[in-house]
Amino acid sequence: MAGASITVAETPLVRYLLRRADDALILGHRLSEWCGKAPMMEEEMALANMGLDLIGQARSLYTYAGEVEAAGRDEDAYAYLRDVRGYGNLLLVEQPNGDFAATMVRQLFYSAFIDPYWRALMGSSDATLAAIAAKAEKESAYHVRHSAEWVIRLGDGTPESHRRAQEALDGLWAFTGEMFETDAGERSLIAEGIVPDPEALRAVWLESVAKVVAQAGLTLPQNAWMQKGGRSGEHSEHLGHLLSDLQYMQRAFPGATW
Amino acid sequence: MSAALHDSEALRGEVWRVAGAVTDPEIPVLSIADLGVLRDVAIVDGRVEVAITPTYSGCPAMNMIALEIELALEKAGIGPVTVKTVLSPAWTTEWMTEDGRRKLREYGIAPPAKGGGRRALFGEDQVACPQCGSTSTAELAPFGSTSCKSLWQCKTCREPFDYFKCH
Protein backbone atom coordinates (compact mmCIF):
# COMPACT_ATOMS: atom_id res chain seq x y z
CA MET A 1 0.00 0.00 0.00
CA ALA A 2 2.33 2.71 -1.23
CA GLY A 3 -0.56 5.21 -1.10
CA ALA A 4 -1.15 4.76 2.62
CA SER A 5 -0.28 7.59 4.98
CA ILE A 6 3.12 7.71 6.60
CA THR A 7 4.08 8.72 10.11
CA VAL A 8 7.40 10.46 10.42
CA ALA A 9 9.78 9.78 13.32
CA GLU A 10 10.29 13.40 14.22
CA THR A 11 13.51 14.57 15.77
CA PRO A 12 13.64 18.34 16.39
CA LEU A 13 15.57 18.88 13.12
CA VAL A 14 13.23 16.73 11.02
CA ARG A 15 10.19 18.47 12.53
CA TYR A 16 11.78 21.85 11.86
CA LEU A 17 12.59 20.98 8.24
CA LEU A 18 9.09 19.66 7.57
CA ARG A 19 7.43 22.74 9.07
CA ARG A 20 9.46 25.14 6.93
CA ALA A 21 9.02 22.94 3.87
CA ASP A 22 5.27 22.76 4.52
CA ASP A 23 5.07 26.57 4.67
CA ALA A 24 6.72 26.82 1.26
CA LEU A 25 4.79 23.97 -0.34
CA ILE A 26 1.36 25.09 0.85
CA LEU A 27 1.89 28.73 -0.08
CA GLY A 28 3.34 27.63 -3.43
CA HIS A 29 0.27 25.47 -4.01
CA ARG A 30 -2.04 28.36 -3.12
CA LEU A 31 -0.26 30.59 -5.65
CA SER A 32 -0.53 27.87 -8.29
CA GLU A 33 -4.33 27.96 -7.84
CA TRP A 34 -4.26 31.39 -9.52
CA CYS A 35 -3.14 29.77 -12.79
CA GLY A 36 -5.53 30.87 -15.50
CA LYS A 37 -7.39 33.24 -13.14
CA ALA A 38 -4.94 36.07 -12.43
CA PRO A 39 -6.18 39.61 -13.08
CA MET A 40 -3.71 40.15 -15.92
CA MET A 41 -1.12 38.27 -17.94
CA GLU A 42 1.85 39.76 -16.07
CA GLU A 43 0.40 38.63 -12.74
CA GLU A 44 -0.33 35.21 -14.15
CA MET A 45 3.42 34.92 -14.72
CA ALA A 46 4.42 36.52 -11.44
CA LEU A 47 2.19 34.31 -9.29
CA ALA A 48 3.30 31.15 -11.09
CA ASN A 49 6.97 32.20 -10.79
CA MET A 50 6.70 32.88 -7.08
CA GLY A 51 4.85 29.60 -6.60
CA LEU A 52 7.62 27.80 -8.45
CA ASP A 53 10.28 29.38 -6.23
CA LEU A 54 8.38 28.27 -3.13
CA ILE A 55 7.87 24.71 -4.35
CA GLY A 56 11.57 24.57 -5.23
CA GLN A 57 12.46 25.64 -1.69
CA ALA A 58 10.07 23.01 -0.30
CA ARG A 59 11.75 20.32 -2.42
CA SER A 60 15.20 21.17 -1.04
CA LEU A 61 13.92 21.11 2.55
CA TYR A 62 11.97 17.84 2.14
CA THR A 63 14.95 16.19 0.46
CA TYR A 64 17.15 17.21 3.36
CA ALA A 65 14.52 15.98 5.85
CA GLY A 66 14.70 12.63 4.06
CA GLU A 67 18.47 12.50 4.55
CA VAL A 68 18.21 13.44 8.22
CA GLU A 69 15.34 11.05 8.99
CA ALA A 70 17.24 8.30 7.10
CA ALA A 71 14.12 6.19 6.66
CA GLY A 72 14.47 6.04 2.89
CA ARG A 73 11.85 8.73 2.20
CA ASP A 74 12.10 11.24 -0.61
CA GLU A 75 10.49 14.66 -1.06
CA ASP A 76 7.36 13.13 -2.61
CA ALA A 77 6.70 10.85 0.38
CA TYR A 78 6.52 13.86 2.72
CA ALA A 79 4.43 15.96 0.36
CA TYR A 80 1.96 13.33 -0.78
CA LEU A 81 1.70 10.78 1.99
CA ARG A 82 1.27 12.76 5.21
CA ASP A 83 -2.22 13.44 6.52
CA VAL A 84 -3.43 16.89 7.40
CA ARG A 85 -2.52 16.49 11.09
CA GLY A 86 1.04 15.64 10.09
CA TYR A 87 1.44 19.00 8.33
CA GLY A 88 3.12 21.72 10.39
CA ASN A 89 2.70 24.79 8.18
CA LEU A 90 1.54 28.19 9.36
CA LEU A 91 -2.21 28.80 9.31
CA LEU A 92 -1.43 31.95 7.30
CA VAL A 93 -0.24 30.12 4.20
CA GLU A 94 -3.20 27.72 4.01
CA GLN A 95 -5.78 30.53 4.02
CA PRO A 96 -7.74 30.59 0.77
CA ASN A 97 -6.59 32.98 -1.93
CA GLY A 98 -9.64 35.23 -1.55
CA ASP A 99 -9.37 38.18 -3.91
CA PHE A 100 -6.12 39.50 -5.36
CA ALA A 101 -5.69 41.88 -2.41
CA ALA A 102 -5.90 39.01 0.09
CA THR A 103 -3.33 37.02 -1.89
CA MET A 104 -0.93 39.97 -1.99
CA VAL A 105 -1.33 40.82 1.70
CA ARG A 106 -0.76 37.16 2.65
CA GLN A 107 2.33 37.18 0.41
CA LEU A 108 3.62 40.37 1.99
CA PHE A 109 3.13 39.08 5.55
CA TYR A 110 4.98 35.86 4.78
CA SER A 111 7.71 37.27 2.50
CA ALA A 112 8.58 40.17 4.82
CA PHE A 113 9.22 37.56 7.50
CA ILE A 114 10.90 34.78 5.54
CA ASP A 115 13.27 37.08 3.63
CA PRO A 116 15.25 38.22 6.71
CA TYR A 117 14.74 34.74 8.18
CA TRP A 118 16.55 33.07 5.27
CA ARG A 119 19.30 35.67 5.59
CA ALA A 120 19.71 34.79 9.26
CA LEU A 121 19.65 31.07 8.45
CA MET A 122 22.57 31.56 6.04
CA GLY A 123 24.71 31.75 9.20
CA SER A 124 23.60 28.28 10.31
CA SER A 125 26.23 25.85 11.59
CA ASP A 126 24.48 23.27 9.41
CA ALA A 127 26.04 23.61 5.93
CA THR A 128 23.04 22.18 4.05
CA LEU A 129 20.59 24.52 5.76
CA ALA A 130 22.87 27.48 5.11
CA ALA A 131 23.03 26.54 1.41
CA ILE A 132 19.25 26.16 1.07
CA ALA A 133 18.82 29.54 2.77
CA ALA A 134 21.37 31.26 0.51
CA LYS A 135 19.41 30.08 -2.52
CA ALA A 136 15.97 30.92 -1.13
CA GLU A 137 16.97 34.36 0.11
CA LYS A 138 17.61 35.60 -3.42
CA GLU A 139 14.11 34.52 -4.39
CA SER A 140 12.25 35.85 -1.35
CA ALA A 141 13.77 39.30 -1.93
CA TYR A 142 11.82 39.50 -5.20
CA HIS A 143 8.65 38.29 -3.48
CA VAL A 144 8.81 41.03 -0.84
CA ARG A 145 9.32 43.66 -3.46
CA HIS A 146 6.51 42.42 -5.66
CA SER A 147 3.90 41.99 -2.93
CA ALA A 148 4.84 45.31 -1.32
CA GLU A 149 4.41 47.16 -4.61
CA TRP A 150 0.95 45.64 -5.04
CA VAL A 151 -0.23 46.37 -1.52
CA ILE A 152 0.84 49.99 -2.02
CA ARG A 153 -0.89 50.19 -5.39
CA LEU A 154 -4.10 48.65 -4.07
CA GLY A 155 -4.19 50.69 -0.85
CA ASP A 156 -3.42 53.88 -2.72
CA GLY A 157 -5.73 53.01 -5.63
CA THR A 158 -9.49 53.27 -5.97
CA PRO A 159 -11.87 53.33 -2.96
CA GLU A 160 -12.77 49.73 -3.87
CA SER A 161 -9.16 48.47 -3.99
CA HIS A 162 -8.41 50.36 -0.77
CA ARG A 163 -11.39 48.77 0.98
CA ARG A 164 -10.40 45.29 -0.14
CA ALA A 165 -6.74 45.73 0.83
CA GLN A 166 -7.78 46.94 4.29
CA GLU A 167 -10.16 43.98 4.67
CA ALA A 168 -7.32 41.63 3.74
CA LEU A 169 -4.99 43.22 6.30
CA ASP A 170 -7.63 43.01 9.04
CA GLY A 171 -8.65 39.47 8.11
CA LEU A 172 -5.16 37.97 7.94
CA TRP A 173 -3.53 39.88 10.79
CA ALA A 174 -4.42 37.29 13.45
CA PHE A 175 -2.44 34.65 11.52
CA THR A 176 0.86 36.54 11.71
CA GLY A 177 1.76 35.77 15.33
CA GLU A 178 2.44 32.14 14.55
CA MET A 179 5.50 33.05 12.46
CA PHE A 180 7.38 33.94 15.63
CA GLU A 181 6.36 30.86 17.60
CA THR A 182 8.89 28.22 18.67
CA ASP A 183 8.57 25.02 20.69
CA ALA A 184 11.11 23.26 22.92
CA GLY A 185 12.57 21.30 19.99
CA GLU A 186 13.15 24.40 17.89
CA ARG A 187 14.58 26.27 20.86
CA SER A 188 17.17 23.51 21.27
CA LEU A 189 18.16 24.02 17.61
CA ILE A 190 18.36 27.78 18.23
CA ALA A 191 20.59 27.22 21.25
CA GLU A 192 22.90 25.06 19.14
CA GLY A 193 23.22 27.75 16.46
CA ILE A 194 21.54 25.59 13.84
CA VAL A 195 18.57 27.88 13.25
CA PRO A 196 17.85 31.54 14.07
CA ASP A 197 15.31 32.67 16.64
CA PRO A 198 12.27 33.98 14.72
CA GLU A 199 11.36 36.19 17.69
CA ALA A 200 14.51 38.21 16.99
CA LEU A 201 13.05 39.12 13.59
CA ARG A 202 9.72 40.42 14.86
CA ALA A 203 10.82 44.06 14.94
CA VAL A 204 12.33 43.89 11.45
CA TRP A 205 9.16 42.27 10.12
CA LEU A 206 6.86 44.78 11.76
CA GLU A 207 8.93 47.68 10.48
CA SER A 208 8.82 46.40 6.87
CA VAL A 209 5.08 45.74 6.99
CA ALA A 210 4.28 49.02 8.75
CA LYS A 211 6.27 50.97 6.18
CA VAL A 212 4.37 49.40 3.27
CA VAL A 213 1.00 49.81 5.00
CA ALA A 214 1.71 53.49 5.74
CA GLN A 215 2.80 54.15 2.16
CA ALA A 216 -0.36 52.43 0.95
CA GLY A 217 -2.48 54.75 3.06
CA LEU A 218 -3.84 51.72 4.94
CA THR A 219 -4.18 51.15 8.69
CA LEU A 220 -2.08 48.61 10.50
CA PRO A 221 -4.35 46.36 12.60
CA GLN A 222 -3.77 46.69 16.32
CA ASN A 223 -5.42 43.59 17.74
CA ALA A 224 -2.96 41.52 19.71
CA TRP A 225 -4.91 38.25 19.82
CA MET A 226 -3.32 35.69 17.53
CA GLN A 227 -4.46 32.38 16.03
CA LYS A 228 -2.22 29.38 16.48
CA GLY A 229 -2.17 25.63 16.00
CA GLY A 230 -0.66 25.13 12.55
CA ARG A 231 2.75 24.15 13.88
CA SER A 232 1.23 21.34 15.95
CA GLY A 233 -1.03 20.08 13.16
CA GLU A 234 -4.24 21.84 14.27
CA HIS A 235 -5.29 23.42 11.02
CA SER A 236 -8.20 25.39 9.68
CA GLU A 237 -10.65 23.37 7.56
CA HIS A 238 -8.99 24.76 4.43
CA LEU A 239 -5.85 22.62 4.55
CA GLY A 240 -7.68 19.30 4.24
CA HIS A 241 -9.37 20.49 1.06
CA LEU A 242 -6.08 21.75 -0.32
CA LEU A 243 -4.34 18.44 0.42
CA SER A 244 -7.11 16.42 -1.22
CA ASP A 245 -6.32 18.33 -4.38
CA LEU A 246 -2.52 18.16 -3.93
CA GLN A 247 -2.37 14.49 -2.91
CA TYR A 248 -5.22 12.95 -4.88
CA MET A 249 -3.19 11.44 -7.70
CA GLN A 250 -0.55 9.73 -5.53
CA ARG A 251 -3.19 8.45 -3.10
CA ALA A 252 -5.42 7.06 -5.85
CA PHE A 253 -2.59 5.74 -8.03
CA PRO A 254 0.34 5.04 -5.69
CA GLY A 255 3.70 5.63 -7.32
CA ALA A 256 2.21 7.07 -10.53
CA THR A 257 4.81 8.82 -12.68
CA TRP A 258 4.61 11.08 -15.73
CA MET B 1 50.04 4.90 -11.58
CA SER B 2 50.99 8.15 -13.23
CA ALA B 3 49.51 6.87 -16.50
CA ALA B 4 46.26 6.16 -14.69
CA LEU B 5 46.33 9.61 -13.12
CA HIS B 6 46.98 11.13 -16.52
CA ASP B 7 44.10 9.14 -18.03
CA SER B 8 41.79 10.26 -15.28
CA GLU B 9 42.76 13.92 -15.80
CA ALA B 10 42.22 13.57 -19.54
CA LEU B 11 38.83 11.94 -18.93
CA ARG B 12 37.88 14.73 -16.56
CA GLY B 13 38.72 17.33 -19.20
CA GLU B 14 36.76 15.44 -21.83
CA VAL B 15 33.71 15.15 -19.53
CA TRP B 16 33.93 18.87 -18.76
CA ARG B 17 34.05 19.67 -22.48
CA VAL B 18 31.12 17.39 -23.42
CA ALA B 19 28.92 18.15 -20.40
CA GLY B 20 29.72 21.86 -20.52
CA ALA B 21 28.44 22.05 -24.09
CA VAL B 22 24.92 21.02 -23.02
CA THR B 23 22.64 24.01 -23.50
CA ASP B 24 19.97 25.47 -21.25
CA PRO B 25 16.64 24.20 -22.65
CA GLU B 26 15.04 27.61 -22.04
CA ILE B 27 17.91 29.66 -23.49
CA PRO B 28 19.41 27.42 -26.19
CA VAL B 29 22.26 29.84 -27.04
CA LEU B 30 23.79 29.42 -23.59
CA SER B 31 25.76 26.36 -22.55
CA ILE B 32 25.77 25.27 -18.93
CA ALA B 33 29.46 26.17 -18.87
CA ASP B 34 28.58 29.75 -19.98
CA LEU B 35 25.92 29.92 -17.27
CA GLY B 36 28.16 28.61 -14.51
CA VAL B 37 25.66 25.81 -13.82
CA LEU B 38 28.30 23.11 -14.36
CA ARG B 39 30.24 23.10 -11.09
CA ASP B 40 32.47 20.05 -10.91
CA VAL B 41 33.54 16.87 -12.59
CA ALA B 42 35.08 14.04 -10.59
CA ILE B 43 36.10 10.49 -11.41
CA VAL B 44 35.32 8.26 -8.43
CA ASP B 45 36.26 4.56 -8.74
CA GLY B 46 35.87 4.75 -12.49
CA ARG B 47 32.47 6.43 -12.21
CA VAL B 48 31.98 9.89 -13.61
CA GLU B 49 30.33 12.35 -11.24
CA VAL B 50 29.06 15.62 -12.63
CA ALA B 51 27.88 18.34 -10.23
CA ILE B 52 25.43 21.00 -11.35
CA THR B 53 23.80 23.82 -9.38
CA PRO B 54 20.33 25.26 -9.94
CA THR B 55 19.89 28.89 -10.95
CA TYR B 56 16.64 29.09 -8.94
CA SER B 57 15.34 26.59 -6.34
CA GLY B 58 12.40 25.64 -8.50
CA CYS B 59 14.13 25.82 -11.88
CA PRO B 60 12.31 23.15 -13.94
CA ALA B 61 15.20 23.02 -16.41
CA MET B 62 17.42 21.16 -13.92
CA ASN B 63 15.94 17.70 -14.56
CA MET B 64 16.18 18.31 -18.28
CA ILE B 65 19.80 19.49 -18.02
CA ALA B 66 20.75 16.41 -15.96
CA LEU B 67 19.18 14.15 -18.57
CA GLU B 68 20.92 16.00 -21.42
CA ILE B 69 24.28 15.60 -19.68
CA GLU B 70 23.77 11.85 -19.33
CA LEU B 71 22.75 11.57 -22.98
CA ALA B 72 25.66 13.70 -24.23
CA LEU B 73 28.20 11.67 -22.26
CA GLU B 74 26.67 8.38 -23.34
CA LYS B 75 26.89 9.53 -26.94
CA ALA B 76 30.58 10.34 -26.38
CA GLY B 77 31.06 6.82 -25.04
CA ILE B 78 31.65 7.98 -21.47
CA GLY B 79 30.04 6.23 -18.52
CA PRO B 80 28.73 5.24 -16.07
CA VAL B 81 27.65 8.73 -15.04
CA THR B 82 25.97 10.23 -11.98
CA VAL B 83 24.66 13.78 -12.12
CA LYS B 84 24.19 15.36 -8.72
CA THR B 85 22.84 18.73 -7.68
CA VAL B 86 24.82 20.90 -5.30
CA LEU B 87 23.37 23.96 -3.56
CA SER B 88 26.45 25.55 -2.11
CA PRO B 89 27.82 28.02 -2.99
CA ALA B 90 24.55 29.44 -4.29
CA TRP B 91 24.55 30.23 -8.00
CA THR B 92 24.92 33.86 -8.93
CA THR B 93 24.68 35.70 -12.23
CA GLU B 94 28.23 36.88 -11.52
CA TRP B 95 29.38 33.43 -12.69
CA MET B 96 28.08 33.98 -16.19
CA THR B 97 31.01 34.20 -18.60
CA GLU B 98 31.65 37.26 -20.79
CA ASP B 99 31.05 35.03 -23.77
CA GLY B 100 27.74 34.02 -22.23
CA ARG B 101 26.73 37.65 -21.76
CA ARG B 102 27.53 38.45 -25.38
CA LYS B 103 25.55 35.43 -26.62
CA LEU B 104 22.55 36.45 -24.49
CA ARG B 105 22.60 39.97 -25.90
CA GLU B 106 22.83 38.67 -29.46
CA TYR B 107 19.89 36.36 -28.72
CA GLY B 108 17.81 39.37 -27.66
CA ILE B 109 18.02 38.96 -23.87
CA ALA B 110 19.64 41.75 -21.85
CA PRO B 111 22.40 40.17 -19.71
CA PRO B 112 22.38 40.70 -15.92
CA ALA B 113 24.06 43.90 -14.73
CA LYS B 114 27.60 43.16 -13.48
CA GLY B 115 28.05 43.65 -9.77
CA GLY B 116 24.29 44.02 -9.48
CA GLY B 117 22.79 41.76 -6.84
CA ARG B 118 20.80 43.38 -4.09
CA ARG B 119 21.58 46.95 -4.99
CA ALA B 120 20.08 46.49 -8.42
CA LEU B 121 17.14 44.72 -6.85
CA PHE B 122 15.99 47.74 -4.89
CA GLY B 123 17.75 50.63 -6.56
CA GLU B 124 17.16 52.15 -9.95
CA ASP B 125 17.75 49.53 -12.59
CA GLN B 126 19.31 50.68 -15.80
CA VAL B 127 19.12 48.02 -18.45
CA ALA B 128 20.33 48.55 -22.00
CA CYS B 129 18.07 47.36 -24.80
CA PRO B 130 19.67 44.29 -26.44
CA GLN B 131 18.25 45.38 -29.82
CA CYS B 132 19.31 49.03 -30.17
CA GLY B 133 21.51 49.60 -27.10
CA SER B 134 19.40 52.46 -25.73
CA THR B 135 19.33 52.79 -21.95
CA SER B 136 15.93 54.46 -22.07
CA THR B 137 14.03 51.35 -21.03
CA ALA B 138 11.29 50.44 -18.55
CA GLU B 139 10.29 47.31 -16.70
CA LEU B 140 6.89 45.97 -17.75
CA ALA B 141 6.74 43.02 -15.35
CA PRO B 142 9.18 41.81 -12.68
CA PHE B 143 8.49 38.15 -13.48
CA GLY B 144 8.99 37.06 -17.06
CA SER B 145 8.85 33.98 -19.26
CA THR B 146 11.08 31.98 -16.89
CA SER B 147 12.07 32.36 -13.22
CA CYS B 148 15.35 34.00 -14.16
CA LYS B 149 13.94 36.77 -16.35
CA SER B 150 11.84 39.92 -16.14
CA LEU B 151 10.02 41.64 -18.99
CA TRP B 152 11.16 45.06 -20.24
CA GLN B 153 10.45 47.44 -23.07
CA CYS B 154 12.75 49.84 -24.90
CA LYS B 155 11.37 53.37 -25.09
CA THR B 156 13.59 54.18 -28.07
CA CYS B 157 12.97 51.29 -30.48
CA ARG B 158 9.75 50.21 -28.70
CA GLU B 159 10.80 46.53 -28.71
CA PRO B 160 9.87 44.46 -25.68
CA PHE B 161 12.70 42.27 -24.37
CA ASP B 162 13.63 39.85 -21.60
CA TYR B 163 16.17 40.86 -18.95
CA PHE B 164 18.14 38.17 -17.18
CA LYS B 165 17.66 39.22 -13.54
CA CYS B 166 20.55 39.78 -11.15
CA HIS B 167 20.80 36.98 -8.71
* B21 and B86 together in one domain: yes
How many domains does chain B divide into? 2
Q: What percent of chain A has pLDDT over 70?
A: 99
- Picking from A42, A135, A142, the nearest residue to B140 by CB comes out as A42
Interface contact flag, B56 A53, Cβ < 8 Å: yes
Would you put residue B6 in left (φ > 0), alpha (ψ -120 to 50) or beta? alpha
Mean pLDDT to the nearest integer, B146-163: 92
Residue A5 phi/psi, 5-degree rounding, is -70, 150
| pLDDT tens digits along A98-136 | 999 999 999 999 999 999 999 999 999 999 999 999 999
More confident of the two residues B30 and B113: B30
* B109 and B60 together in one domain: no
Best residue in B39, B56, B119 for a mutation probing chain A (most A CBs within 10 Å): B56
Residue pair A50/A150 in contact (Cβ under 8 Å)? The answer is no
* B101 and B67 together in one domain: no
* B108 and B80 together in one domain: no
* B125 and B147 together in one domain: yes
CATH no. for residue B48?
A: 3.30.300.130
Q: Which domains does chain A have, with CATH numbers?
A: 12-252 (1.20.1260.10)
* B38 and B83 together in one domain: yes
Distance from CA of residue A38 to its chain's centroid?
20
Of B65, B91, B117, the residue that ends a domain is: B91
Would you put residue A72 in left (φ > 0), alpha (ψ -120 to 50) or beta? left
Distance from CA of residue A247 to its chain's centroid?
18
Residue B140 CB neighbours (<10 A): 14
Mean pLDDT to the nearest integer, B150-166: 92
Mean pLDDT to the nearest integer, B156-165: 93
Instruction: Quickly state the pLDDT bin for B39 (edges 50, 70, 90).
Output: very high
- Picking from A46, A60, A131, the nearest residue to B142 by CB comes out as A46
Interface contact flag, A50 B143, Cβ < 8 Å: yes
Instruction: Quickly state the pLDDT bin for B108 (edges 50, 70, 90).
Output: very high
| pLDDT tens digits along A171-225 | 999 999 999 999 999 999 999 999 999 999 999 999 999 999 999 999 999 988 9
Would you put residue B53 in left (φ > 0), alpha (ψ -120 to 50) or beta? beta
At residue B1, the pLDDT reads 42
Q: How far is B108 from chain A (nearest CA, A)?
A: 20
* B87 and B152 together in one domain: no
Q: Which domain holds residue B147?
A: 94-164
